[in-house]
Structure 1
Amino acid sequence: MGDMANAHHHHEHSGDNLVEAARAALEKAGEQWTEMRADVFGALAERDRPASAYDLAESVSTMRGKRVAPNSVYRILDLFVRTNLARRVESANAYLANSHPGCQHDCIFLICDVCGQAVHIDDDKLTGALIAAAKQAGFAGVRPVVELRGTCAVCS
């Protein structure tokens, strides 16, 4: 992955710890951790690949034993992205749980064209350079989302 000296390292949460970290981050943002939001986050967190709102609506519908509309899931996912509980993979129109919901960082995704695996890395030097270039062009409030497509180590 090249020079990772400028990468930001932090504690990765998983399982119940991830759910608790997500709940704490959402409540800190002034939002309620409802049963539906918990179910959507749980369905997202158990996946190791980016998931669409339709995939998640199907999972939550099965879990709850009644149909959940994808529009409801989209609204929750938008909230999760705004509050840093999830990341949106733009090129796949899909979402990943953020394994460190307390940290605010810009996204760099490495996406495998073969298996669909998406790996999230942080490199503040790289995203900082993009923000500086945007400011120079007169843009404010920029949050970079960088997506690199290729073939992961398992598939290559």
Structure 2
Amino acid sequence: MLRTRHHDHDHACEHGHPPVDVLKVAEARCAERKLKLTPIRREVLSHLAASPAPMGAYDLIEKMHHSSGRRPAPISVYRVLDFLLEAGLAHRIESRNAYVACAHRHDGPDLVVFMICDACGCVSEASGAPVEKDLAAIAGAAGFTAASRVVEMFGRCAHCGPTEKT
């Protein structure tokens, strides 16, 4: 299946959180956990929140270079991304090797479902709670222990319409 990724599209995706909202959640979460939201962490999170599609580390570096005129080292951006993941402020979309901001208040072990549009690349996040027990039962019956609590679904967002049949 061909999966395209377009960052420049003309519709709002459900993923797109207003950066101010994401930063408010991040500030509160960091205060609760006694973590520091440094300027570079804030900047990376803001870019993730403003993007309608997942962003890779090098996408972030280019955005940061464009917005601030400085180009951070890749290792610095990867460290920030690791912090954001650990703090529950971002998620990694494994199939895209990219990241999205998270303004939801769920715990690390909660099942998260990502719906990824094949046409425009936008990502919507939903709780997997309604199917969590069924997936655990399926895995258990197969003697499988899940290392990840993320489901990625591919298809078309409401704006892009149904997948074309070939």
Is TM > 0.5 for Structure 1 vs Structure 2?
Answer: yes
Alpha-carbon spacing, 1:132–1:79, altered in 2? closer, same or farther (3 Å): farther
Q: Is the 8 A contact 2:92 2:98 kept in 1?
A: yes
Q: Is the 8 A contact 1:111 1:151 kept in 2?
A: yes
User: 2:148 and 2:31 mapped to 1: Cα distance?
Assistant: 23
Q: TM-score of the superposition, structure 2-length normalised? A: 0.75
Runs of at least 5 residues in structure 2 that lack an aligned partner in the other structure: 1-15, 162-166
- State yes or no: 1:85 paired with 2:76: no
Report the CA distance between 1:129 and its aligned residue. 2.6
Matches for 1:18-29 after TM superposition, within 5 Å: 18-29=22-33
Q: Between the two proteins, what is the percent identity of the paired residues?
A: 36
Q: How many residues in Structure 1 have an aligned counterpart in Structure 2?
A: 143
Q: Is the 8 A contact 1:14 1:99 kept in 2?
A: no
Which of 150, 153, 156 is the equivalent residue of 2:158? 153
- State yes or no: 1:126 paired with 2:131: yes
**The 10-residue stretch of structure 1 (128-137 or 85-94) with the greater mean CA deviation from structure 2:** 128-137
User: 1:153 and 1:42 mapped to 2: Cα distance?
Assistant: 25
Q: TM-score of the superposition, structure 1-length normalised? A: 0.79
Report the CA distance between 1:92 and its aligned residue. 0.8
- State yes or no: 1:103 paired with 2:106: yes
RMSD (Å), alpha carbons: 2.2
- State yes or no: 1:69 paired with 2:69: no
- State yes or no: 1:39 paired with 2:6: no
Question: What SS class does the counterpart of residue 43 from structure 1 fall into?
Answer: helix
Runs of at least 5 residues in structure 1 that lack an aligned partner in the other structure: 1-11
Alpha-carbon spacing, 1:135–1:48, altered in 2? closer, same or farther (3 Å): same
